[in-house]
């Protein structure tokens, strides 16, 4: 198994990319950017308190040439108020098809922080059965630091089409033509009920990607009205521990060390969570590098769990909203 981003400056068909390693280097992407069966997705997204507009930055500041914008807050389940939950299979297929993505495409996903929200979109495609998807190691910052060109203007047409396609599906309207077919991987997506059962049955080790202060209930959650704390039985491995100082994924030996230090066995099943299901996917990305390709993500994560009236939670002074 590879322990570093695929790194070659020779033109290669995306067919030659290995699915063993979940990230690819900026050098590889630069060399293969014009391959017809390769599409690049800007999946930038930021926490509410960062006050950054990823769509505006994509359109007016910088993006990798030819990249499409994947709106994490737009390509979502429209039947819930929980943030950026997975849409239905039909809705995802419609949105992705509206972006011109096909099942035989290789996809490279990046974000504006290095490795952050791109891991979420990598996991989304895998959850819907698409294996030929990789995260750009170091993201847009590493791309720019390497001296590669960016574009600073883009139409909002594709973004609007994806949002409209999602809306039509949830309104019961027919959307077409579809260029992307889904094959939902149920084992990669956990619900509240599965987490509830796991507290009793302990079939899976549960890892939370939030910061230790949030996990311990001594620092506030970034979303108003959500108290901090954690799901009973879960362990905390903050997602930055998967990354080095340049926001690239750590090599396998370093990743193993991080999990071993927290008593996580790579021989047993694992489920990850976080605040709203975004940074949990960074843990899943790291585990994928270690050969754990079946790690589940609790999509609703802490935000869904803690607002229920009947779910146990470890919080400071045991107070619930």
Residue in 277, 286, 274, 283 with CA at minimum distance from that of residue 249 = 286
Q: How far apart are CA 76 and CA 83, in angstroms?
A: 8
Q: How far apart are CA 163 and CA 158, in angstroms?
A: 9
Cβ-contact 45, 120 below 8 angstroms: yes
The full DSSP string for 281-319 is HHHHHHHHHTT-TT-EEESSHHHHHHTSSS---B-GGG-
Is 281 noted as a catalytic residue in this protein? no
Q: How far apart are CA 75 and CA 127, in angstroms?
A: 14
Catalytic residue among 64, 274, 285, 287: 274
* 193, containing H or E segment: helix 192-201
φ, ψ of residue 235 to 5 degrees: the values are: -120, 155
Q: How far apart are CA 101 and CA 166, in angstroms?
A: 15
- Number of helices (H), then strands (E), belonging to the chain: the values are 11, 10
CA-CA-CA-CA dihedral for 110, 112, 117, 119, to nearest 10: 30
Contacts of 269 (CB under 8 A, 6+ apart): 203, 204, 205, 294, 296
Catalytic (active-site) positions: 274
């Amino acid at each position: 198994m590879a322990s570093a981003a695929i790194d070659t400056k020779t033109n290669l068909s995306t067919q030659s990319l290995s699915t063993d390693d979940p990230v690819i280097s900026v050098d590889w992407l630069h060399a293969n950017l014009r391959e017809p069966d390769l599409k690049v997705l800007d999946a930038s997204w930021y926490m509410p308190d960062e006050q950054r507009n990823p769509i505006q930055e994509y359109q007016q500041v910088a993006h990798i040439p030819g990249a499409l914008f994947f709106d994490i807050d737009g390509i979502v389940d429209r039947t819930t108020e929980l943030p950026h939950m997975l849409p239905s299979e039909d809705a995802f297929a419609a949105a992705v098809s509206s972006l011109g993505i096909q099942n035989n495409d290789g996809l490279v996903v990046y974000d504006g922080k290095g490795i952050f929200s791109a891991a979420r979109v990598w996991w989304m495609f895998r959850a819907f059965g698409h294996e030929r998807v990789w995260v750009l190691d170091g993201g847009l910052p590493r791309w720019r630091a390497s001296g590669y060109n960016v574009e600073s203007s883009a139409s909002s047409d594709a973004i609007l089409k994806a949002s409209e396609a999602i809306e039509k599906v949830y309104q019961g309207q027919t959307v077409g033509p579809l260029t992307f077919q889904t094959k939902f991987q149920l084992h990669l997506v956990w619900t509240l009920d599965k987490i509830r059962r796991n507290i009793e049955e302990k079939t899976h080790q549960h890892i939370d990607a939030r910061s230790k202060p949030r996990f311990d209930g001594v620092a506030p959650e970034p979303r108003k009205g959500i108290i901090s704390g954690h799901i009973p039985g879960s362990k905390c491995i903050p997602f930055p521990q998967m990354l080095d100082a340049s926001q690239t994924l750590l090599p396998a030996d370093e990743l193993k060390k991080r999990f071993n230090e927290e008593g996580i066995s790579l021989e047993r099943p694992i489920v990850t969570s976080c605040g709203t299901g975004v940074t949990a996917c960074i843990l899943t990305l790291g585990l994928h590098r270690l050969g754990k390709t079946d790690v589940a993500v609790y999509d609703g994560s802490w935000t869904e769990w803690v607002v229920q009236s009947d779910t146990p939670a470890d919080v400071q002074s045991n107070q619930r909203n």
